[in-house]
Structure 1
Amino acid sequence: MRGLFDDNPNWTERELAYPNRMIRLGSLFSGIGAIEHALKRLNIRTEIQFASDIEPNCKKSYFANYEITEDRWCSDVHELDAKPYRYKVDLLVGGAPCQAFSLVGKRRGFDDTRGTLFREFARVVKECQPKVFIFENVRGMLNHNKGVTWDVIKKTFEDDLHYDIHFQILNSRNYGIPQNRERLFCIGFRKRTEFFFPDVINLEYRMYDFLEDTIDSKYFLNDKGIKFVTSHKNREKRYTQINGEIALCQKRNQEYNWHGDFVYHPLAQGEEEYDEFIFDVNDVEEKYYLSEKVKKYVLCPGTKNFKTRIETDLDVARPLLQSMHKMHRAGIDNYVTHKGRIRKLTPRECLRLMGFKDWFKIVVPDTAMYQEAGNSIVVDVLIALLKQMDITQYGIEQDK
C-alpha cells in the first residue's frame, strides 16, 4: 500500500489542508457516533445534518455527546427523508446490518436490495448525494452468499448511484488500537478519485495500557464465570483470553456471557481472598491447584519442624522428589495456591479499546454501554481514513 501522493508523508504525519473548514455530516445507524468522535479528535468543526438509530439508549448516548436537535434525529431510518439535504452533505457514514438479500431479480442492483437496511443506506445516498460516503460492515460480507451479496452492493453503488468505489478489509490493530477487529470499509466518492487505503502503522500499545486503575467489585467474576473462563476447552478455542496484549474482537453481548477478554488481578499482600474459586492466569489446569481441604491440611500449624518445612508459591522450587505421592507423604512440596481475581473489562475500557477518549460521557446502564461499544466502529480506523483522504478538502468555508 502507499499514500495518497507519492511525495507526501505518511498519513500519520500529514497535516489537514483546510483545518478551518466545516464538515456537514450525515450519520446512519449512528450508534454512539464513532465518526462524530473521530472528527472531534481531529478538531474538525462538524455540523450534523441528520443522524439515525433505532435503539433508544443510543439516542441517549448520542445526545449527551454531540450537538444535535430533535428535528435532525430519526429513530427509524425508513422514515428519514434525505431529499431536503441534497448536495448539503459532505460526508455520509453508516454500517447497515446485513440481512439476507432477496435476490428475486436478475439485475443484482438496487432493485434486488429491497427489504434490507442496506437499501435504506443506498436510498439516502441517492437522495442527498454526499461528496463522500463510508460504508462499514463485517468482513464476511465479501463472501456472504458466495459473493453475490457484495456483488449486489457494489453494483448498486457503481451502476445505480454512480459513485467511485474503493474497498478493503482493515484491522484496528494496524491503526493504533490493540484489538483484533477486522471490518470491511467501502469508500465512495461522487467524483472519480485516486485513493489508496492508509498504510498500516506499528502497534505501540498493549491492552494493558487501556485499563482503568480502580475497578468496582461488580466487574469481578463469580465462581461459575471463573470456571468457564479458565477451562482448558474454552481458552484452547480462543473464546476467552486473560491478560492478552491484543484484545479479541469486542462483542455486543459481553454483559451476558464469558466470551472475550478478561483481566487477572493478583491479590495484594494482606488482602483477603474472599472467593474460594479463583484461579491463576497461567495455563495450569485447575486440578493442580490446592483445594481448600488440602490447603488447610498442608498449611496447618502442626509441629514446629513440620511448620517450617511447608511453604507455598515459592519463587525457587524445592528439589523435586522421585514421585508426587512421596512428596505428599513426606510433607514437603512445591505447593501453588490461587491468589487472585479475574474480572471482565469495564464499559470504559471497552470504549477505550474502540478509540473513544474518556471525555465520552457514559449516560446509559452497563448493559447498554457494552452493546453500544461492541456495535461501534473503531474510531482510530476512521481517523486514518479521514486523514488519508484529507476530509477537509470536501468541507465548506465557515461562516464569518
Structure 2
Amino acid sequence: MKKVYTISEVASLLGKSKETLRRWDKSGKLCALREPMSNYRYYKKEQLSFFEEFNNHQIQDSIDIKPQGDYNVLELFAGAGGLAIGLEQAGLKCAALNEIDHWAAETLRFNRPHWNVLEGDIREISFSGLRGKVDVVTGGFPCQAFSYAGKKLGLQDARGTLFYEFARAVQETSPAICIGENVRGLLNHDGGKTLKGMISILDEIGYRVIDPKVLKAIYYKVPQKRERLILVGVRKDIEIDFEYPQPTKATYTLKDALKKGELFNEDVPLSPGAKYPVSKKKILELVPPGGYWRDLPLDLQKEYMQKSFFLGGGKTGIARRISWDEPSLTLTCSPAQKQTERCHPEETRPFTVREYARIQTFPDNWKFAGPVSSQYKQIGNAVPVNLAKAIGESIVKFLNEKRLIEQSEKSLIAI
C-alpha cells in the first residue's frame, strides 16, 4: 500500500483542485512535505487519514450481487437512460420509463425497442395500472421549492412541483422501495426546507426515509468529479434497511475514459463535437493540461474574467483544460458554454459527443438521438452509468433480503 502521495494524486483522491491544496498548504490546513534538495512536494498517508474521501479510496471492490428473482423498475424523468442502463446491468428489469423530452425518449426507444417508454408530461400520466407490478420507483426529479408552512408538509402542499408527481407515482404503484436522485444542492435548498418537505411527504404516503446521502461518482468507477444526492424511501411494512453502495478501491482519470484500458476495451470512437469561438480558442491555447484561467498572463486573466476577476472563490472550472491524469470536472449540458469550459487535454476543443458519453460511462453502443446540441444535453443531464449500477446492486441486495424473509415466512406458515 502506498505511503506517500503526490499533489496530483491527493487532488484526485480528495476531489479538490491543486490550487485548493496550495491554499491549504499556505494556511496550515494540510501542509505538504518537501524534499530538501528538489523542493518536490508530497503527502504521507497519515496526513490524509482524516479525510473521508481518502479512507473511501482504501475500501476493496465489492462482489457482484445477483438478483434472486425478477425485480421490476418504473423510472421517472428517465432522460437518455444513464440510470436505466446501470440498473439493467445490476440485473433489474425495466417495466416502464417516463420522459417528456422527445429526443431523449427517442434515444431510449432506439437502444431498447422492448422498453415501455411513456413519452409525455408526467402530470398527464396515470401509473395506477402498474400497482403491484413494480418493486422500485426511481426518478431524478428537478429540485423545486415548496410553499412550506407549519410543522409538517403534506402531499397536497407540493402540487405543481415535479416531486409531487414522483410521490404520486410512488403512491399509485406502492413499490417496496423508491429512489430519488438530485444535485447536492438539494441538501441546502431553501435552507433545507425543500428536502425536509420531501421526507415529510414520503412519510405521509407510507415510506420511511433512509438518511439521504451524497454519492461521489469518482468512487464508483466514474472518471468524473460528479456528485448526486440520493433519497431512499422504504415502504413502512418492510423492516429492512437499504444500504448505500460501498465506494470502490480504484479511481479513474480522463485517460481511463478516453483510452483503451480497464474501463473500455478500445479508444473512444470518433464523433461530432462542438467548437470554441476563435476568441475563446486563443485563450485556451495558453492554458496547460490541468490548468485554468489563473495560468494565463495577468492582463489576459483580467480581460477574460472581467468583473469576476475581483470576486472571491477559485472558479477553477473556468478556462479549464483537463489533464489526462485527473478525472474530468462535472460535465455540463453545453460543452462550450461561457465560463464552464472542459477543454480536451491536447487539442483546443470541447469534448466530443462520444467523449462526453465515455466520461459518463455510457457504453459505446448506446446511441443518442437528435441534433448534437440535444445529445450533449442528454448526456450532461444523465446519471453516470457505473454509479447507477452500484446503486442498482444495493437495490438488488435489499430486494434479495426482502425475498428471503418472505420465503422464510411462507415456510413457517406451511409447517
The TM-score, its normalising length taken from structure 2, stands at 0.67
Please tell me whether residue 237 in structure 1 is matched to residue 315 in structure 2.
yes
Counterpart secondary structure, 1:136:
strand
Match of 1:23 among 46, 58, 71: 71
Change (3 A) 1:258 1:357: farther
> Could you tell me how far apart the structure 1 residues matched to 2:141 and 2:396 are?
24
Counterpart secondary structure, 2:132:
coil
> Could you tell me how far apart the structure 2 residues matched to 1:395 and 1:122 are?
24
The residue that corresponds to 1:352 in the other structure is 358
Once the two structures are TM-superposed, the CA of residue 126 in structure 1 deviates from its matched residue by: 0.5
The one-character-per-residue Cα deviations of 1:281-337 (angstroms, maximum 9, x if unpaired) are: xxxxxxxxxxxxxxxxxxxxxxxxxxxxxxxxxxxxxxxxxxxxxxxxxxxxxxxxx
Q: How do 1:207-286 and structure 2 match up within 5 A? A: 207-211=254-258, 212=267, 215=270, 219=274, 221-229=276-284, 230=287, 231=293, 232=296, 233=301, 237-238=315-316, 239-244=318-323, 245-257=326-338, 259-265=340-346
CA contact (8 A) 2:209 2:231 kept: no
Once the two structures are TM-superposed, the CA of residue 395 in structure 1 deviates from its matched residue by: 8.2
Once the two structures are TM-superposed, the CA of residue 178 in structure 1 deviates from its matched residue by: 1.7
Please tell me whether residue 92 in structure 1 is matched to residue 127 in structure 2.
no
Please tell me whether residue 64 in structure 1 is matched to residue 110 in structure 2.
yes
Once the two structures are TM-superposed, the CA of residue 220 in structure 1 deviates from its matched residue by: 5.0
Q: Structure 1: any 5+ residue segments left out of the alignment?
A: 1-8, 266-340
The residue that corresponds to 2:249 in the other structure is 202
The residue that corresponds to 2:84 in the other structure is 36
> Could you tell me how far apart the structure 2 residues matched to 1:129 and 1:243 are?
45
CA contact (8 A) 2:202 2:208 kept: yes
Q: Structure 2: any 5+ residue segments left out of the alignment?
A: 1-58, 259-266, 288-292, 306-313, 405-415
The one-character-per-residue Cα deviations of 1:258-285 (angstroms, maximum 9, x if unpaired) are: 52321133xxxxxxxxxxxxxxxxxxxx
Change (3 A) 1:395 1:195: closer
The TM-score, its normalising length taken from structure 1, stands at 0.70
CA contact (8 A) 2:254 2:328 kept: yes
Q: Which residue identity is paired with 1:194?
A: D
Please identify, of 228-237 and 61-70, the stretch whose mean Cα deviation from structure 2 is larger: 228-237
Change (3 A) 1:214 1:107: closer
> Could you tell me how far apart the structure 1 residues matched to 2:159 and 2:176 are?
25
Q: How do 1:1-400 and structure 2 match up within 5 A? A: 12-18=62-68, 21-42=69-90, 44=91, 46=93, 48-68=94-114, 72-104=117-149, 107-190=152-235, 191-211=238-258, 212=267, 215=270, 219=274, 221-229=276-284, 230=287, 231=293, 232=296, 233=301, 237-238=315-316, 239-244=318-323, 245-257=326-338, 259-265=340-346, 341-391=347-397, 393=400
Once the two structures are TM-superposed, the CA of residue 89 in structure 1 deviates from its matched residue by: 0.7
Name the one with the larger helix percent: 2
Once the two structures are TM-superposed, the CA of residue 105 in structure 1 deviates from its matched residue by: 5.8
Q: Which residue identity is paired with 1:369?
A: Q
* Residues matched between the structures, number: 308
Percent identity reads: 27
The residue that corresponds to 1:336 in the other structure is none
Once the two structures are TM-superposed, the CA of residue 73 in structure 1 deviates from its matched residue by: 0.8
Change (3 A) 1:120 1:217: closer
